[in-house]
A and B are shown apart, each in its own frame.
Chain A
Amino acid sequence: MKTRKTEAAVRPVTALAAKRRWRRVMRDFHVRAFGEELARINFLPEKQRKAAVAEMIDYARSKGVKLGRPALGVTP
């Protein structure tokens, strides 16, 4: 017989499981949309993610890649 206590214990676990499931779904989407490496970076904790993106940007720039937007006067 389910008591209020056991119902309360089940509810947060179910919500957490749903959150984890959704995270896996979105991770799959990120892999499809952005590729394995960017998907990995996207799911890093914030500080590590920003550091990884900065490293990527600086590496590209060091190789001569122009990462700025062209001057169009209107931003899409």
Chain B
Amino acid sequence: MIPYQELGSFFTQLVATAQQRGIACAITGDMACVHYGVAATTKDCDVLCAVEQAEAFRDLIAETALRGLLPNYRGNLSPPLDARWLRGGWTSHFTWKTKPEETCLDVFGIAPRGSSPWEQQLAGIYARPNVVAEMKRTNRDKDWPFATALGGEMLGEGDVNGWLHLYDAEVLQTRMATSKPPAELVPLRPVLGLAPFTDTRTVKRLLLAERQFWSELDELRVHLYQHHLRPYVSAVRRANAGRRDLSVAEGHTIRVACALTHLPFQPLREFGLSRMVAEAKANVGMTMGTDVIKWLPAAERHFHGL
């Protein structure tokens, strides 16, 4: 078993090397959370890479060995690491076939739910907490305390945008003793208009509505991508002809050919970003009451880069 400190060093060195080569690249996800003071126990690594530099990053990944092992694309599922698909929010997945378990890397070109360019929000080899927190607004219950913890970290460092990531009523209330949310943030997150958050029941209800909204939006996003992945996976499996040892370059050629047939470049845009937001809001309205809809965030701005 490769000790996690070695794996962590491996990934940080990969990103540092990418940056030295002029590739805009940053660690996000759980490794970034640990860096910012929120422990997470995933051993995989999530990395953001500038869309236009997908090829250069792919070349770097392909030549980077871990304990003498070169990587492969992971399974049959991974879309190619190629600007055409990265631009549409597709994620590429790589693995080093270490034992007893593989070491995995996920590469994003677009930060899901990002509201601003992540390339301008770097702290060394890490994406800044704002980027990481936006990516934590998922359909997984376990991610939400991370968002609040990161928001709290941001406020502690004097970044008022931390208010956008607090999803705990008690934390919102007690923060009021120090400062109140700036007026310019309220249109982005209407719930902040409830300051000083003393109507606890309403605050809790609307925080739940917000969380459900982001969860619905993420479920819809995942569903749209997975809808196209099914035929793609079958095509890749046939093209691989059972080979599991294809190099990144070999795998890439096969995946591009399959992706050109089965993976639209911009599945979310084709569906309609406003339509996604409207559907997610309607779903929340159905379960929690239509009165909560006006308190939901201005999510249209959270598809930056798509």
Contact = CB atoms under 8 A, between A and B. Distances in A.
Interface of A: 18-19, 21-23, 25-26, 28-30, 32-34, 38, 41-43, 46, 49-54, 56-58, 60-62, 66-69, 71-76
Contacts of A30: 38, 149
B268 to A, nearest CB: 11
B8 interface: yes
B226 A73 contact: yes
Interface in B165-182: 168, 170-171, 174-175, 177-178
Interface stretch (B56-64, B101-109, B114-122, B190-198): B101-109
B91 interface: yes
A29 to B, nearest CB: 5
B5 A54 contact: yes
B139 interface: yes
B208 to A, nearest CB: 15
B149 A42 contact: yes
Interface in B14-68: 34-35, 37-44, 46
B128 interface: no
Nearest to B46: A75
Given A50-B35, A74-B229, 12 more contacts: A22-B152, A29-B149, A34-B38, A34-B39, A67-B44, A68-B43, A68-B102, A69-B106, A73-B93, A73-B229, A76-B139, A76-B218
Contact of B93 (A25, A43, A49, A71): A71
Interface in B201-232: 218, 221-222, 225-226, 229
Given A61-B101, A68-B44, A69-B104, A53 B39 contact: yes
A51 B8 CA distance: 10
Main secondary structure of the interface of B (DSSP, over half): mixed
A56 B39 contact: yes
Contacts of B281: none
B177 A21 contact: yes
Contacts of B112: 75-76
B37 A50 contact: no
Contact of B226 (A22, A41, A43, A72): A72
B171 A26 contact: yes
B130 interface: no
A60 B37 CA distance: 20
A12 to B, nearest CB: 14
29 contacts: A19-B156, A22-B152, A22-B175, A25-B175, A26-B152, A29-B145, A29-B149, A33-B145, A34-B38, A34-B39, A42-B37, A43-B37, A46-B35, A49-B39, A50-B5, A53-B40, A57-B43, A61-B1, A61-B43, A67-B44, A68-B43, A68-B44, A71-B77, A71-B78, A73-B225, A74-B222, A74-B229, A75-B91, A76-B218
A35 B38 CA distance: 12
Contacts of A67: 41-44
Contacts of A53: 4, 34, 39-41
Contacts of A19: 156
Nearest to A34: B145
Contacts of B75: 71
